[in-house]
Amino acid sequence: MIQRAWRNLAGWGINVAIALTALRVNLMRSILTTLGVMIGVFSVILAVAIGAGAQVSVTESIGALGANMAIVVPQPDSDGPRQTTDRGRLTERDIKAIAKQVPGIIATAPQLRTRVQLVASGRNATTEVIGVTPDYAVVSNVNTDEGRFIEQGDVNASSRVAVIGETVATKLFGTYDPVGETVRINRVPFKIIGLLESKGSSFGNDNDDLVVVPLGTLRQRLLDTPAQGPDDIHIAFVGFDDEPSLIAGQKAIKKLLRERYRVAKGKINPFTVRTTTEIAEVTGQATQIFQALLVAIASISLLVGGIGIMNIMLVSVTERTREIGLRMALGAKRADIRNQFLVEAAVLCVIGGGIGLALAKVAALAFVAYADFPAPIGFGVAVGAILFSAIIGLAFGGWPAIRASRLSPIEALRSE
């Protein structure tokens, strides 16, 4: 049995050698033939990599936002069309009530947000400024590389202090240490007391391009459009111990706010409560659909490449009819002829698939280097691409191989 297996393996090795010789003899035609498979494999792998990168970016974005967190915004909880008068309301008093009455909460972080102009050291930049309380660092998992974060005394005194992200620091101060320096935010001088730990970019969003100031300071000095009430806020983060607490807490928050705003049964909530789990699920589904669409479109080029392989192999069978007849006359079986052309088609596709894989890897590296977008190509994807290329060759080379094996030896030898 071992000898038989060895003979079969040697036979396949001979077929591979014959295939490589045939491809080398018709080098230009072989290159043009592999082009379709190469482009198809390149497109499919890159589509898979982009989809995987989108999922990675979603995970990083949720991680940068904070885990096990509920997000409360003063917008009507409806997916339908909204009127300009359908504006909700959310106050610091609401958030304090949530912190006292909803179980499982670690911390709450009411916020005000706006776009501002920064000027420092003769440089300027535009970014988002967030007015927060000290618990924002707890809920959003924010740390400082240098200096300190906003403290309760800064909030109580509405101090003109700021903590800046790494991107802002680079824009305004280059490589110099910004802690202790002064930055003008909308012409109001602020002292920089800390530099935030870098969180990088995710899903096209720079998580380090922001400035954090005390909540009351932003309300009094930087808010262009005054809020409806003296303690109104734009958004609030509510951190929970774990996911079960988060699920129960979301329902409790909705119930509490409905009671506080006297929302009648059947009426739309004047607020929206979403969780990071929901956001991850919805965004993940969207990226999966996006990836499937990309792969489906890219597969068309792979199908075209397979059809090209079939056409060229049929031409090759016609051109090599006399060779086929000679091999049969010397004792080659129909299975040997069939396997020869099957292996040739598979080798042709594997070469094209390998080149397509290499090009996809280069494109993925370019995405990371120039677009700051992850496009991972794992070992499994690489091996799968090569195996799939071989399957394409066997599938589309099947008919030409069968046709070659069915030729009559006498008629084949008569062929010119």
Of 242, 270, 298, the domain-final residue: 270
Q: Both 198 and 295 in a single domain?
A: no
Taking the C-alpha atoms of residue 361 and residue 249, their distance in angstroms, rounded to an integer, is: 44
> What is the pLDDT, as a whole number, of residue 192?
96
Q: Both 197 and 260 in a single domain?
A: yes
The structure tokens 């198809």 sit at 40
The structure tokens 């929970």 sit at 240
Structural domain including 390 reads 16-61+282-414
Domain for residue 132, yes or no?
yes
Of 217, 243, 270, the domain-final residue: 270
Q: Both 124 and 204 in a single domain?
A: yes
* pLDDT tens by residue, 55-88: 777 777 766 666 789 999 998 876 544 444 455 7
Domain for residue 209, yes or no?
yes
Q: Both 23 and 99 in a single domain?
A: no
pTM of model > 0.75: no
Q: Number of structural domains, the chain?
A: 2
Residue 98 DSSP SS3:
helix
CA distances from 170 to 9, 160, 201, 203, 311 (A): 62, 21, 15, 21, 58
> What is the pLDDT, as a whole number, of residue 2?
56
Q: Both 210 and 331 in a single domain?
A: no
Q: Both 99 and 42 in a single domain?
A: no
> What is the pLDDT, as a whole number, of residue 22?
64
Q: Both 253 and 128 in a single domain?
A: yes
Q: Both 126 and 217 in a single domain?
A: yes
Q: Which residues of the chain have pLDDT under 50?
A: 5, 80-85
Of 270, 301, 321, the domain-final residue: 270
Domain for residue 277, yes or no?
no
Domain for residue 6, yes or no?
no
> What is the pLDDT, as a whole number, of residue 286?
80
Element (H, E) at 254: helix 243-260
> What is the pLDDT, as a whole number, of residue 414?
65
Domain for residue 5, yes or no?
no
Q: Both 125 and 203 in a single domain?
A: yes
